[in-house]
Amino acid sequence: MKTKIIRIKEALEKNRSIVLTARCAIIYSGRAEAFLPDGDRFIIIKADRSMVIHQPTGSNPVNHMREGASVSIEQSGKNAILKAAHLANKEYLDIELKKIYSVHDQCLDDGQKQVIAGTEKDMADMLFSNPEIVEKGFRPLSTEEHTKYGFIDVFGYDKDNVLTVVECKRYTAQLNAVQQLRRYVERIRKVRGVDKVRGIIAAPKISSNAEKMLKDWGFRHIVVKPPNYLERFDRKQSKL
Amino acid sequence: MKTKIIRIKEALEKNRSIVLTARCAIIYSGRAEAFLPDGDRFIIIKADRSMVIHQPTGSNPVNHMREGASVSIEQSGKNAILKAAHLANKEYLDIELKKIYSVHDQCLDDGQKQVIAGTEKDMADMLFSNPEIVEKGFRPLSTEEHTKYGFIDVFGYDKDNVLTVVECKRYTAQLNAVQQLRRYVERIRKVRGVDKVRGIIAAPKISSNAEKMLKDWGFRHIVVKPPNYLERFDRKQSKL
DNA sequence: GGGGAGAGATGCCGC
DNA sequence: GCGGCATTTCTCCCC
């Protein structure tokens, strides 16, 4: 135990990343209050002083601290206390280490950022570049138009020159989405001083309640799936 | 490399939890598509076949698979490919291991569940038990009403016997929250056939736009913070 | 038990 | 830092 504590202390001083497996109890105070009794866990302490704690099952961390915490370890009788405090966030995490099974510390090097495709923004871009997907004669003016009441995914004129707001959803559009659309349409009516503004939900599906509200408001739904660039990329690759 | 691959393979067979640090590239396909070029990362594979991948900075995982994936590792030239597939979720994760720095595998034992206080539900319960926080003369009927009205946090009568809907938010209430409230109030008016239904947002703060919309709709905001049971508990303890 | 639907909780991004 | 929304989510209900 003592050797491992010293090793952790040194790694912290050298600002190395650390992975522990240990039996411990955890007390957290911050956005909420949480307590977790003794059990075996993974603990990751990164060089930027963020921390992640995982139980032996499940994909979600049981607790974490965001980058910029101050982390320290102290012996306390037979045990050790690993403390992390994030003053700016008013968060405090105390880990009472009852048994340290393993310690690994290392400097890690990674400057990469993940590229994601198939997001709502990708959908909006697709509709902007291929307006006929929305409707024949649709002429988009902008994507991600910012208004005071939020930003509009795609905004343009329909074939009869009526202002049209398109709200994209990657999955099933729900009540929420219809209200969002309603808010934008109301807003545009007011700001532009026009009576007639159309609203369209672009989504692969719509829930029945949402559809009802949609009709009540005179809006419509078009079936659109989000694009999957990487999938296409993979298919191309698989031909090689 | 070869020894480490064998060790991982054996650990997988024995259903042990594994922690790696490795240089790798990652391809994910599922709800979205994602690609992450070569870099150093932490990889945790748990006994329930959930996985978590962390870059050397930041508190969030760059990728993960939920429990129930099938995980395998294969040599591929100089590298190794760690594959995780979750057929039920239609998710696929391929990790191309260029260099394995460390491997640790172990059986971990943890049956504990975290106790959390200070959630939105705790707020609703607090208002139900202490209705005078909402208003003098407020008489709550229910909390977390899962009815045709939706999930109403607190529902009751004010001192003048007017139906009142209270929507709780732990943090700053935003446009979203006001719309939620608006939806509930509209629905109750319709279902109960009464004109007058009041709406109240209970939150520590409210954004300026949300407040504007709140006033437009004749609702009000009361300043309420979520309760912190454990914090109180800690204070009690610290007196000992 | 699986799918749908509603909403919570958190991160990100733009101002 | 605040205020908008998106989400590789969560949970519950219902079939």
Nearest chain A CA: its distance from B139 CA (Å): 28
Q: Chain A interface, mutation test: which of B112, B225, B235, most A Cβ atoms within 10 Å?
A: B112
A148 CB burial (10 A radius; 0-12, 13-18, 19+) = exposed
Asked whether residue B228 carries a pLDDT value surpassing 80, the answer given is no
Q: What are the residue ranges in chain A where pLDDT is below 50?
A: 231-240
Q: Which helix (H) or strand (E) holds A203?
A: strand A197-203
The CA distances from residue B149 to B45, B57, B145, B158, in Å, are 43, 44, 8, 19
Average pLDDT score, chain B: 89
The CA distances from residue B2 to A106, B25, B54, B76, B82, in Å, are 21, 19, 23, 11, 14
Nearest chain A CA: its distance from B66 CA (Å): 5
Nucleotide at minimal C1' distance from the B89 CA: D8
A205 strand C contact, CB < 7 Å: yes
Strand C contact nucleotides, protein CB < 7 Å: 4-12, 14-15
State the pLDDT at residue B45.
Answer: 96
Using the Cβ of A41 and the Cβ atoms of chain B, whether some distance falls under 8 Å is answered with: yes
CA A212 to C1' C7 (Å) is: 19
State the pLDDT at residue B192.
Answer: 87
Whole-number Å distance between alpha carbons of B59 and A65: 7
Which protein residue's Cα is closest to nucleotide D13 at C1'? B146
Subset of residues 168-187 in chain B with CB less than 7 angstroms from any atom in strand C: 168-171, 180, 183-184
Nearest chain B CA: its distance from A138 CA (Å): 28
Subset of residues 90-149 in chain B with CB less than 7 angstroms from any atom in strand C: 119-121
Using the Cβ of A89 and the Cβ atoms of chain B, whether some distance falls under 8 Å is answered with: no
Nucleotide at minimal C1' distance from the A114 CA: D8
Nearest chain A CA: its distance from B131 CA (Å): 22
State the pLDDT at residue A226.
Answer: 87
- Residues B153-197: tens digit of each pLDDT: 998 999 999 999 999 999 899 998 999 999 999 888 988 899 999
State the pLDDT at residue B234.
Answer: 39
Whole-number Å distance between alpha carbons of B22 and A106: 11
Please, which residues 177-206 of chain A have a Cβ atom closer than 8 Å to chain B?
Answer: 179, 183
CB within 8 A of A56, min separation 6: which ones? A39, A40, A41, A42, B17, B46, B47, B48, B108, B109, B110
State the pLDDT at residue B240.
Answer: 30
Do B57 and A46 lie within an 8 Å CB cutoff? Answer: yes
- Considering only CB atoms, A111 lies closest to which of B17, B39, B110, namely B39
The CA distances from residue A67 to A45, A78, A83, A117, B57, in Å, are 10, 29, 14, 27, 8
Query: How much is the average pLDDT of B78-105?
Result: 94
- Higher per-residue confidence, A119 vs B55: B55
Element counts in chain A: helices (H) and strands (E): 5, 13
The CA distances from residue B36 to A60, A97, A110, A116, B147, in Å, are 20, 34, 10, 9, 44
Contacts across the A-B interface (CB distance below 8 Å): 188
Q: Which helix (H) or strand (E) holds A84?
A: strand A79-86
Do A106 and B55 lie within an 8 Å CB cutoff? Answer: no
Strand D contact nucleotides, protein CB < 7 Å: 1-10, 12-13
State the pLDDT at residue B147.
Answer: 56
State the pLDDT at residue B145.
Answer: 63
- Considering only CB atoms, A117 lies closest to which of B33, B117, B231, namely B33
Written as one letter, the residue type at A64 is H
What's the start-to-end Cα distance of chain A, in Å?
54
- Considering only CB atoms, B47 lies closest to which of A56, A113, A150, namely A56
Q: What is the pTM of this model?
A: 0.88
- Residues B110-152: tens digit of each pLDDT: 988 888 777 888 889 899 999 999 999 999 988 876 655 668 8
Cβ proximity of B199 and B165 under 8 Å: yes
Using the Cβ of A217 and the Cβ atoms of chain B, whether some distance falls under 8 Å is answered with: no
Using the Cβ of A70 and the Cβ atoms of chain B, whether some distance falls under 8 Å is answered with: no
Using the Cβ of B163 and the Cβ atoms of chain A, whether some distance falls under 8 Å is answered with: no
Using the Cβ of A103 and the Cβ atoms of chain B, whether some distance falls under 8 Å is answered with: no
Do B110 and A40 lie within an 8 Å CB cutoff? Answer: yes
- Considering only CB atoms, A50 lies closest to which of B57, B64, B108, namely B57
- Residues A55-77: tens digit of each pLDDT: 999 999 999 999 999 999 999 99
